[in-house]
Protein backbone atom coordinates (compact mmCIF):
# COMPACT_ATOMS: atom_id res chain seq x y z
CA UNK A 1 0.00 0.00 0.00
CA UNK A 2 1.19 3.55 -0.65
CA UNK A 3 0.33 7.01 0.68
CA UNK A 4 -2.10 7.88 -2.13
CA UNK A 5 -4.11 4.65 -1.60
CA UNK A 6 -4.25 5.32 2.15
CA UNK A 7 -5.34 8.93 1.55
CA UNK A 8 -8.07 7.79 -0.87
CA UNK A 9 -9.33 5.14 1.60
CA UNK A 10 -9.51 7.63 4.47
CA UNK A 11 -11.17 10.32 2.33
CA UNK A 12 -13.71 7.80 1.01
CA UNK A 13 -14.58 6.66 4.57
CA UNK A 14 -14.84 10.11 6.14
CA UNK A 15 -17.70 10.17 8.66
CA UNK A 16 -17.60 6.43 9.38
CA UNK A 17 -16.71 4.88 12.73
CA UNK A 18 -13.62 2.71 13.10
CA UNK A 19 -11.53 1.03 15.78
CA UNK A 20 -8.02 2.44 16.03
CA UNK A 21 -4.87 1.01 17.60
CA UNK A 22 -1.99 3.45 17.98
CA UNK A 23 1.48 2.17 18.83
CA UNK A 24 3.26 5.08 20.45
CA UNK A 25 6.71 5.63 21.89
CA UNK A 26 8.22 3.21 24.41
CA UNK A 27 5.82 0.37 23.55
CA UNK A 28 2.74 2.28 24.64
CA UNK A 29 -0.41 1.09 22.89
CA UNK A 30 -3.68 3.00 22.85
CA UNK A 31 -6.90 1.54 21.48
CA UNK A 32 -9.95 3.70 20.85
CA UNK A 33 -12.96 4.03 18.59
CA UNK A 34 -13.86 7.15 16.69
CA UNK A 35 -14.92 8.81 13.45
CA UNK A 36 -12.74 10.26 10.74
CA UNK A 37 -14.09 13.81 10.62
CA UNK A 38 -11.65 15.55 8.28
CA UNK A 39 -8.95 14.65 5.78
CA UNK A 40 -6.28 17.08 4.61
CA UNK A 41 -3.27 16.77 2.32
CA UNK A 42 -0.85 15.53 5.01
CA UNK A 43 -3.02 14.60 8.01
CA UNK A 44 -6.47 13.41 8.99
CA UNK A 45 -8.54 14.17 12.08
CA UNK A 46 -10.33 11.62 14.28
CA UNK A 47 -13.00 12.44 16.87
CA UNK A 48 -12.71 9.88 19.66
CA UNK A 49 -15.99 8.27 20.74
CA UNK A 50 -15.84 8.52 24.51
CA UNK A 51 -17.02 10.84 27.26
CA UNK A 52 -14.28 13.40 26.50
CA UNK A 53 -14.90 13.70 22.73
CA UNK A 54 -11.19 14.31 22.19
CA UNK A 55 -9.86 15.10 18.73
CA UNK A 56 -6.67 13.43 17.48
CA UNK A 57 -4.68 14.00 14.32
CA UNK A 58 -2.50 11.50 12.50
CA UNK A 59 -0.47 11.51 9.32
CA UNK A 60 -0.97 9.06 6.48
CA UNK A 61 2.59 7.93 7.17
CA UNK A 62 1.42 6.62 10.59
CA UNK A 63 -0.84 4.18 8.73
CA UNK A 64 1.86 3.30 6.21
CA UNK A 65 4.39 2.42 8.94
CA UNK A 66 1.78 0.48 10.99
CA UNK A 67 1.98 2.91 13.91
CA UNK A 68 -1.78 3.36 13.50
CA UNK A 69 -4.02 0.41 12.65
CA UNK A 70 -7.53 1.07 11.36
CA UNK A 71 -10.19 -1.63 11.67
CA UNK A 72 -13.81 -1.43 10.60
CA UNK A 73 -16.46 -1.92 13.26
CA UNK A 74 -18.45 -5.07 12.57
CA UNK A 75 -22.17 -4.44 12.78
CA UNK A 76 -24.33 -7.06 14.48
CA UNK A 77 -27.13 -8.49 12.37
Q: What is the pTM of this model?
A: 0.88
What are 10-20's pLDDT values in tens digits?
999 999 999 99
- Is residue 77 in some structural domain? no
pLDDT bin (cut points 50, 70, 90) of residue 1 is confident
pLDDT bin (cut points 50, 70, 90) of residue 53 is confident
User: In which domain, by residue range, is 36 found?
Assistant: 3-71
SS (H, E, C) 16-55: CEEEEEEECHHHCEEEEEEEEEEECCCEEEEEECCCCCCE
> What is the number of structural domains in the chain?
1
CA distances, 71 to each of 20, 21, 26 (Å): 6, 8, 23
Mean pLDDT calculated for residue range 41-65: 95
Task: Give the pLDDT confidence score for residue 74 in this predicted structure.
Answer: 75
- Is residue 10 in some structural domain? yes
Amino acid sequence: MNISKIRNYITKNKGKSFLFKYKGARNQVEEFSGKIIEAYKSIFIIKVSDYTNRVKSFSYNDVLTNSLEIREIALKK
